[in-house]
Amino acid sequence: MVVSKPTNAKQGNVSTNGGGQTAGQISVDKFNAMDKFDIARQKYKPDKIKYLFVAETPPKTTSDRFFYFENVDKQDSLFLETMKCLYPSDTDKVNVKIIRANKKLFLDKFKNDGFYLIDSLDKPFEDKYNTAQKISLIQGGQNKLLKKIQKLCSRTTKVILIAAPVFKANYQFLKDNQINVINKELIDFPGSGGQKKFKEKLKQII
């Protein structure tokens, strides 16, 4: 994949396809039923999911930052570190600004290679919870998560749990329900100094 230098042109978080249809817009009813995070995520859903990443929650609804938003000019550590780990030949010694400017190209590659990312919960954490509180909240949504994973995945899909609360809450539950979780230890979220451990652990299983 050839990455290009950033331009001054801004791209919207929800783009249109070749037919002029809004990304993820299958019908007006479905568009209205889905929030902006679902719309962005659905645009990059592979036909066949080989690897399913499970994170904590989507951002708050007012946020302009999300893994699947194409135009994010700050932070976005989960996207950046995941791309660096999966596509080192396209990211090594490449300025972060250039990676950000080519986010759509990376998301297309991520999709075409069979990678997909969902969240344990559909709604964001409304408060700043500690790890134990997050675990409890995530466990409360386990049955819904299980159904979502079963709908998305085949028997060969490899599931990867990202961040300590997600692993601690879901690992044994999903294994007990015959979900193919491949990380046997928690994978640190790649923020607040966790970038190195995130890449080291992810590289060991992919």
Question: Quick one: pLDDT at residue 68?
Answer: 96
Per-residue pLDDT, averaged over 116-125, amounts to 94
Among 15-29, 31-45, 138-152, whose mean pLDDT is lowest? 15-29
Name the nearest CA neighbour of 180 among 161, 199, 202.
Answer: 161
Q: Looking at the DSSP assignment, which residues form a beta bridge with residue 55?
A: 119
pTM for the structure as a whole = 0.83
| Best CA proximity match to 101, nearest among 2, 204, 200, 201 | 2
CA dist., res. 197 & res. 186, Å (int): 10
44-92 pLDDT, tens digit per residue, is 999 999 999 999 999 888 888 899 999 998 889 999 999 999 999 999 9
Task: State the average pLDDT over residues 8-29.
Answer: 44
Give the least confident one: 1-10, 13-22, 46-55, 89-98.
Answer: 13-22
Cβ-Cβ contacts under 8 Å for 84 (sequence gap 6 or more): 91, 92, 99, 199
In degrees and rounded to multiples of 5, residue 55 shows phi and psi of -105, -165
